Amino acid sequence: MDKNTITGMLLMCAVIFGFMWLNTPSEAERAEYQRQQDSIARVQQEAKQNDVTTTMLSADEVSQLKSVLTKMSSDSSGRATIDRQGVKVSLAGGELTGTIAVADTVLPFDEVLSAASGNPTLHNQAVDAVKKAMESYLKNGAFANFLSGQEQIVKLQNDSLIVEVSTKGGVISRASLRAYKAYNAPMVEVFTPKENDYSFTLSNNTQRFETKDFYFTPEQVSDTSVTMSLNLDGGAKWMLRYTLEPGSYMVRMEMLQQGMQNIIPLNINSVDLNWHQKMSRHEEGKMFEERNSAIYYKYYGENGDVEYTKESGNDEKDIKDKLKWISTKNQFFSAVLIADSLFTNAQLTSLEFEKGTPEYDKYLKDMTIRTSIPYASDAAHAAGFYFYLGPNRYPTLSAMDKYSPKEDLKLTKLIPLGWKLFRWINTGVIIPVFNWLGKFITNYGIIILILTILIKIVLSPLTFKSYISQAKMKILAPDVAAINEKYPNQEDAMKRQQKTMELYSLAGASPFGGCLPMLLQMPILIAMFTFFPSCIELRGQSFLWANDLSAPDKIVQWTGQIPFITNYFGNHISLFCLLMTITNIGYTYLTMQSQSQQSAMPGMKWMMYLMPLMFLVFFNNYASGLSYYYFISLLITIAQTYLSRLFVSEDKVRAQMAINRTKPKKKSGFMARLEEAQRQQQAMLREQEKRKGKGGNSKKR
């Protein structure tokens, strides 16, 4: 473009912007324009409302509403009232009065009845609300009178548990454990209002009645007991009685009734139970608490096993068999519903909350349990249950068997203590010793130290011989190297192995001696791996710099994420885990000293040193009590190794070897089998050489 074109374009732009600036409306003009638009919108809204067809309550519906209210029990003022979902209508002296709340507006009932509210849309919404409320009352038949009321809370308590029972639904709305604190609350709450609810569903041949919709009347109230009652017409009564066991985490729940056969037919032989729980967090670290959260259940019968839903991810189970108890369980606490008789079936659903949602940080799982129990409407005691609301503590759960003398409840299976062998070690040895030490010592760090020493002492007769063998192996390392130099060829491998084994035999050493201590300790190491994250006794117990031995001892924290390993490692460093790793590297170096000249695979050395670093990644997020145990155990192992070397000198080993050479050689079973294998292999090689020789001669001919 030339100069004149550019000048022309600039002039055109200047003219356009100047015109726009001159025609910009003032503040007053903009306000007037907005007023006109609002006026137009109001006229359009009014026209739209005038076009709405107004609905009315028919004469039959008004008559039916009066009939419903007439059948209901009157309060002290002689008025019968429907109070449900914003509809509050009363009948007094044959006249209907009340209010209907819709869309943040409260309309008088007489205006709704006569269409005098002036707003057809709100009027129609109010009419629909009245119809739905009346339909709900008609659906609930004899129970309709209990759909409205004022919620009251009755508190039961003993030394261990505080239970709040609500008249809305007649259920336990809150259960607080006196002896345990949550990370964000003064007491752990196993049940929390609006996050935990359960309900029984009664039914006749045409209707179903949800007890969660009813307002109960509290009767026979004491500090440890209350009866929630529905007093029906004709003297019928349906009740839930709660009794808090003295000094226990157990609540007795009984379904009592009288005259119910007039309302529930005798051919109805079951009652449904629906239990929903948003399981709240109690620990600061969510990973392990969520990983140990699931719905547990036990099959009915003495031999019935305990199973559970998946602890990670979503899971659904449809169980057709009979069950004895069902539980919502997290890392350290459980709510267990134990039937006197049984549950006939169950549909279980366990869902995780999605990351980024408001519920994700507050809750662990969303759990739903649907099941049924046997029922007879003419039985005064329709059903009985025990609610265990307490800690997953082994002695406490073991003591609950007294509530079921005919069947082992196996409630201790709520504590994940590993497979059968490891569980046996924990329940038969570790837990009894741990609890016994707890009677005399209050510091659990000291208890872990003493427990570790006791385990090492018990294993020492078996492991000390292996440590001696390792020490001898270190002394014999130059001799083994000399044998390897004397027989370097591959065809001399069997001869080289034979000479090496003879050397070990003369010295009383074993190449497998270093493996034996680890093999002997492995079941105990794995048992302790399952014990510490599940040990509620360590929860909240401090030792040295660790504030909680059941959680990581974080000395350094950050907010960022480390790619690939954050889910395991976390965003912190645990000091006990770091000390364990350093000690493990030192022990690996000590062990490799006696093998450095023998190793046929040098890369294996790096693998041995890599293992402690892998343990650092995976154990960093575990309980500090576990890392502390492994740290102490490794320190004792290193001390035992050095101590064993004090009992072994090269002069004594050489002298013993000289004495052994003069003795008649008595071959061990292993050496005899080794020599027989060598003889067979050599015979096989000679046979192969002969065949090759014959084949070569044939070709020459």
Q: If you write DSSP's letter for every residue of 530-570 in order, what string do you get?
A: HHHHH-GGGTT--BTTBS-TTS--EEEE-SS--TTTHHHH-
Domain boundary at 93, 110, 139, which? 139
What are the two backbone dihedrals, phi and then psi, of residue 431, each rounded to the nearest 5 degrees?
Answer: -65, -45
Residue among 389, 190, 220, 407 at smallest CA distance from 298: 407
Q: Of 89 and 3, which is predicted with more confidence?
A: 89
Say which residue the tokens 């519920």 belong to.
359
Mean pLDDT of 93-118: 77
Residue among 146, 157, 223, 209 at smallest CA distance from 187: 157
How many CB atoms within 10 Å of residue 127? 20
Task: Give the DSSP H/E element, type plus range, for residue 143.
Answer: none
| pLDDT (0 to 100) of residue 689 | 65
Mean pLDDT of 109-123: 74
CB of 209 closer than 8 Å to CB of 140: yes
Integer Cα distance of 126 and 111 in angstroms: 10
- Number of C-alpha atoms within 13 angstroms, CB side, residue 463? 20
Which tens digit of pLDDT belongs to each residue from 582-594?
A: 988 888 877 776 5
> What is each CA distance from 229 to 211, 220, 242, 256, 299, in whole angstroms?
11, 10, 11, 9, 32
pLDDT over 70, % of the chain:
72
- Establish if 39 belongs to a structural domain: no
CB of 332 closer than 8 Å to CB of 365: no
User: N- to C-terminal Cα distance for the chain?
Assistant: 101
For residues 467 and 546, membership in a common domain is answered with yes
How many CB atoms within 10 Å of residue 587? 16
| pLDDT (0 to 100) of residue 552 | 84
DSSP assignment string, 48-106 = HHHHSPPP---HHHHHHHHHHHHHSPP-TTS-EEEEETTEEEEEETTEEEEEEEETTEE
- Record the tokens describing residue 581, joined without a space: 């790793």
CB of 615 closer than 8 Å to CB of 634: no
State how beta strands 250-258 and 237-244 pair: antiparallel
For residues 190 and 237, membership in a common domain is answered with yes
Burial of 123 (0-12, 13-18, 19+ CB in 10 A): buried
CB of 143 closer than 8 Å to CB of 119: no
- Establish if 424 belongs to a structural domain: no
For residues 243 and 362, membership in a common domain is answered with yes
Residue 35, helix vs strand vs coil: helix
For the cut 70, the answer to whether the pLDDT of residue 367 exceeds it is yes
Domain boundary at 416, 435, 466, which? 416
For residues 183 and 122, membership in a common domain is answered with no
> What is each CA distance from 17 to 25, 277, 625, in whole angstroms?
15, 65, 75
Q: Apex CA 137: angle with CA 132 and CA 142, to 5°? A: 165
Q: Of 639 and 336, which is predicted with more confidence?
A: 336
Integer Cα distance of 587 and 638 in angstroms: 6
> What is each CA distance from 359 to 274, 316, 365, 523, in whole angstroms?
22, 20, 9, 39
| pLDDT (0 to 100) of residue 217 | 92
CB of 86 closer than 8 Å to CB of 18: no
For residues 134 and 174, membership in a common domain is answered with no
For the cut 50, the answer to whether the pLDDT of residue 387 exceeds it is yes
Q: Of 600 and 507, which is predicted with more confidence?
A: 507
- Establish if 301 belongs to a structural domain: yes
pLDDT band per the 50, 70, 90 thresholds, residue 198? very high
Integer Cα distance of 580 and 647 in angstroms: 27
- Establish if 12 belongs to a structural domain: no
| pLDDT (0 to 100) of residue 598 | 47
Domain boundary at 139, 164, 179, which? 139
Under DSSP, the state recorded for 456 is H
For residues 455 and 391, membership in a common domain is answered with no
CB of 152 closer than 8 Å to CB of 166: yes
* Reported pTM: 0.74
For residues 198 and 90, membership in a common domain is answered with no
Which tens digit of pLDDT belongs to each residue from 526-571?
A: 888 889 888 999 988 888 898 888 888 888 877 766 766 666 667 7
Residue among 530, 173, 538, 278 at smallest CA distance from 391: 538
| pLDDT (0 to 100) of residue 365 | 92
Mean pLDDT of 41-68: 66
Q: Which of 30-44, 101-115, 189-203, 503-517 reaches the highest mean pLDDT?
A: 189-203
For residues 82 and 173, membership in a common domain is answered with no
For the cut 80, the answer to whether the pLDDT of residue 10 exceeds it is no
For residues 467 and 576, membership in a common domain is answered with yes
- Establish if 686 belongs to a structural domain: no
- Establish if 671 belongs to a structural domain: no
DSSP assignment string, 368-429 = EEEEEEE--TT-SEEEEEEEEEEE--HHHHHHGGGG-TTS---GGGGS---SHHHHHHIIII
Q: Apex CA 372: angle with CA 166 and CA 370, to 5°? A: 70
Which tens digit of pLDDT belongs to each residue from 140-185?
A: 777 877 887 889 999 999 999 999 999 999 999 999 999 999 888 8
For residues 319 and 448, membership in a common domain is answered with no
- In 292-357, which residue ranges form alpha helices assigned H by DSSP? none
Residue among 232, 545, 274 at smallest CA distance from 377: 232
Beta bridge partners of 168: 215
- Establish if 19 belongs to a structural domain: no
Which tens digit of pLDDT belongs to each residue from 200-255?
A: 998 887 778 889 989 999 999 899 999 999 988 778 899 999 999 888 999 999 99
Which tens digit of pLDDT belongs to each residue from 435-444?
A: 899 888 989 9
- Establish if 44 belongs to a structural domain: no
The parent domain of residue 111 ranges over: 59-139
CB of 179 closer than 8 Å to CB of 160: yes
> What is each CA distance from 533 to 82, 549, 622, in whole angstroms?
53, 9, 7
Average pLDDT taken over every residue of the chain? 80
Which tens digit of pLDDT belongs to each residue from 499-523?
A: 777 666 666 666 665 566 667 778 8
For residues 133 and 174, membership in a common domain is answered with no
Domain count, the chain: 3
| pLDDT (0 to 100) of residue 47 | 46
| pLDDT (0 to 100) of residue 164 | 95
What are the two backbone dihedrals, phi and then psi, of residue 31, each rounded to the nearest 5 degrees?
Answer: -65, -40
For residues 354 and 453, membership in a common domain is answered with no
- Order of all β-strands in the sheet with 153-157: 153-157, 161-166, 171-177, 188-191
Residue 594, helix vs strand vs coil: coil
Say which residue the tokens 């140990």 belong to.
292
